[in-house]
Amino acid sequence: MKFSTTAATFAVLVSGTTAFTVASTGSSAASVVGSSIQRGASGRTAGSTTQLSEKMAEELGTPCEDECAMDSYPNMPPSVHPGVNTGQAMIDLLNHAKENGYAIPAVNCVSNSGINACLEAARKNDAPVIVQFSSGGSQFYGGKGLDNTNYQAAIAGAISGAFHVRTMAEQYGVPVILHTDHCSKKLLPWVDGLVAASERYYEKHGEPLFSSHMIDLSEEPIEENIDICKNYLARMSKIGILLEMELGITGGEEDGVDNTDVPLEDLYSKPEEIYQVYKELSPISDMFTVAAAFGNVHGVYSPGNVKLEPKILSRAQEYISEKLGGDAPADKKPVSFVFHGGSGSDIADIRESLDYGVIKMNIDTDTQWSYWEGIKNFESKYHDYLQTQIGNPEGPDKPNKKYYDPRECMRSAETTTVDRLEQSFGDLRCQKILGLGEMGEATNVLESSVFGPRKGGLPV
């Protein structure tokens, strides 16, 4: 989503029924609803006709203890579990956020190091998290040396990242929604490849590889936008994937998309437009979100330069509730919003938006900086040890390997990112959600000569 300092972007999760339709291997579909979900022997939820996949740890034969071995959480709906949540479990998680007035941080990642920092931050904050990939981030994850004709590198990179998230989210013991970010019309082959991968994964595991995908056709005519999204929703909802679509344009610049000079009128979505989307998509499935432009921007801005108007969210809820009449939910919040482009937003505006139904907030610019800041600080602190392989202030023959080992500066980057995400979790009231308590100290880890114990390593 793209835009200027006067418009804000939110995504809308339509709150209809909480059931989703899962295509079965027979001629009919199986409707998996919260009241009928039970725990299968595999540790995944099971409907009457559809058995969801076993844990990745069980499939791979990797250790799975403590939080990893849990089937559910003390404070969450029983369907929500450690690892990637899709279908009904994902809907239950998002509904829990809305009902309890918090939003889930959605963090763009470009490496397994960044993913691990997100998972560590989620566990430290006793909270769920959304890990998401852009097309450019997916290509980088696969490797910039790979040819990306027909987006093959971006497809392979996102799939590789998905399996890393699926494997490690269980180990950290946190529930994750696995999402892909903005996909414009020219990038649709990228998402096509990922949906196809989820369909193949579903055939073997009973759930999709990804939880949700965003289709961003906000630059196209609204009729074309809706028609294309209807086709994707029909395909994706059959296997429990949520669709996020966009109306209006988010200002600023992100991942090579520059919308700093778009017309002002394109930076705002009208309640009538959101309702039009609702009317056309909801007969297909209620598993969709709408990104509505409304006051925030991608990029870096000083505090006070981004002017949000959260009360427009409240007015949109009222308008759509009025249209729904007796079918409107009791809380008069028929939609759930996702907040895009929040850098530089005032905390009071962010908190107010939560009261009007925001359940997800995208984070990219600030974590890009926090990751770099960790590397920058490490280089500054150990500068004289990082100029040559041999020779430092301690002597001309002293080796520097323990300083230029890339794990050292990367761990510094992870630590600053975990710290920055703690601020985001706090801003979004997304702390102490799961009921797991504090994260214990890691043991049996590789000792770092610079930092001390390094989490995730094994002793040598």
pLDDT score recorded for residue 47: 35
Query: Rounded mean pLDDT of the chain?
Result: 83
Q: Which residue has the higher pLDDT, 11 or 245?
A: 245
Mean pLDDT of 120-144: 98
Checking if the pLDDT of 257 tops 50, the result is: yes
Tell me the β-bridge partners of 257: 254
- Looking at residue 29, its pLDDT comes to 31
Active site residues: 181
Nearest in space to 421 (alpha carbons), one of 120, 75, 102: 120
More confident call, 327 vs 316: 327
pLDDT tens-digit map of 147-179: 999 999 999 999 999 999 999 999 999 999 999
pLDDT given for residue 266 in this prediction: 56
Q: Is residue 48 very low, low, confident or very high in pLDDT (cuts 50, 70, 90)? A: very low
Q: Pick the residue with more confidence: 311 or 168?
A: 168
Given a cut of 50, whether residue 44 has pLDDT beyond it is no
Q: pLDDT grade, residue 9 (50/70/90)? A: very low
Taking alpha carbons only, the member of 69, 103, 88, 67 closest to residue 18 is 88
Q: Around Cβ 404, how many Cβ atoms within 10 Å? A: 15
User: Residue 448's pLDDT band (boundaries 50, 70, 90)?
Assistant: low
Please write the tens of the pLDDT for every residue from 337-388.
888 877 778 899 899 989 988 899 999 999 999 999 999 999 999 999 999 9
Range in 183-192, 299-308, 350-359, 443-452 with the lowest mean pLDDT = 299-308
Residues 300, 442: Cα–Cα separation, whole Å: 35
Between 311 and 256, the more confident residue is 311
Res. 74: pLDDT tops 70 = yes
Q: How many CA atoms lie within 13 A of 421 on its CB side?
A: 36
pLDDT tens sequence across 186-200: 999 999 999 999 999
| Distance set, CA 295 to CA 3, 243, 303 (Å) | 8, 22, 14
